[in-house]
């Protein structure tokens, strides 16, 4: 897979506020498009197939793994999650930069294929605040929340493998920082190299003409 489009990857422990931040980022950056992942978990109340996730059965997902259809996939709490290659390619073909929302397992797989991607990790301000946010959601049992907190510690340890880190203490501040990362990444030297070479060619031609 290759494209002139950018590839952004955001990961975070459950409850860190990643989903809300991504919605805000997509609203501010119209060139950025989310690649909606597949999952085998049941849809939650209010979720719509094709918006939050594409909900598929386990047999369909495993067939996709066998066929090499997934750019990355992982099994989390007994359910599969994965990013289909064809959806990423389709967004690039539309001239979009692609945003992936995945866990640290999937992030490691994508970095192996795209070492030059922009990876961002969202951190909670504290473990106490993370626990409070998980409890406030009211969608998980106490046992599941405890399991998510244990998993969060492992995930946070993996943040050192990401290029950028944003602490979601105040939503508006964290969102502004995410937008700044997206803007800065598009302006990096490797991305601008083609423009620089074009300018140098033009300068060389003008110099030859003046001589």
Q: Give the integer Cα–Cα distance in Å for 178 and 174.
A: 6
For 93-106, letters b (16+ CB in 10 Å) and e give: eeebbbbbbbbbbb
Question: Which tens digit of pLDDT belongs to each residue from 14-57?
Answer: 889 999 999 999 999 999 999 999 999 999 889 999 999 999 99
Report whether pLDDT(211) > 70: no
What average pLDDT does the segment 9-15 reach? 93
The pTM score is 0.85
What average pLDDT does the segment 82-107 reach? 94
Q: Give the integer Cα–Cα distance in Å for 1 and 89.
A: 8
Fold of 7-35+96-210: Rossmann fold (3.40.50)
Question: Which tens digit of pLDDT belongs to each residue from 26-37?
Answer: 999 999 999 999
Q: Is residue 193 a contact partner of residue 14, using CB atoms and an 8 Å limit? A: no
Question: Which tens digit of pLDDT belongs to each residue from 55-67?
Answer: 999 999 999 999 9
The count of C-alpha atoms lying within 13 angstroms of the C-alpha of 26, restricted to the half-sphere facing its C-beta, is: 16
Rg of the chain taking only CA atoms, in angstroms? 20
Q: Is residue 16 a contact partner of residue 168, using CB atoms and an 8 Å limit? A: yes
The count of C-alpha atoms lying within 13 angstroms of the C-alpha of 136, restricted to the half-sphere facing its C-beta, is: 10
Report whether pLDDT(70) > 90: yes
Report whether pLDDT(163) > 90: yes
């Amino acid at each position: 897979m290759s494209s002139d489009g950018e590839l952004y990857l955001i990961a975070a422990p459950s409850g860190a506020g990643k989903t809300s931040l991504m919605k805000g980022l997509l609203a501010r950056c119209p060139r950025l498009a989310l690649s909606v992942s597949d999952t085998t978990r049941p849809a939650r109340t209010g979720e719509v197939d094709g918006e939050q996730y594409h909900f598929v059965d386990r047999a369909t997902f495993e067939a996709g793994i066998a066929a090499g259809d997934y750019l990355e996939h992982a099994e989390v709490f007994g359910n599969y999650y994965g990013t289909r290659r064809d959806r990423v390619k389709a967004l690039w073909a539309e001239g979009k930069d692609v945003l992936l929302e995945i866990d640290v397992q999937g992030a490691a797989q994508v970095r192996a294929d795209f070492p030059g991607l922009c990876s961002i990790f969202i951190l909670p301000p504290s473990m106490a605040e993370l626990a409070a946010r998980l409890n406030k959601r009211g969608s998980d049992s106490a046992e599941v929340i405890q399991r998510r907190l244990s998993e969060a510690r492992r995930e946070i340890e993996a943040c050192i493998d990401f290029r950028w880190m944003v602490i979601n203490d105040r939503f508006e501040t964290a969102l502004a920082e995410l937008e700044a990362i997206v803007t800065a990444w598009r302006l990096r030297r490797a991305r601008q190299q083609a423009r620089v070479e074009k300018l140098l060619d033009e300068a060389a031609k003008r110099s030859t003409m003046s001589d």
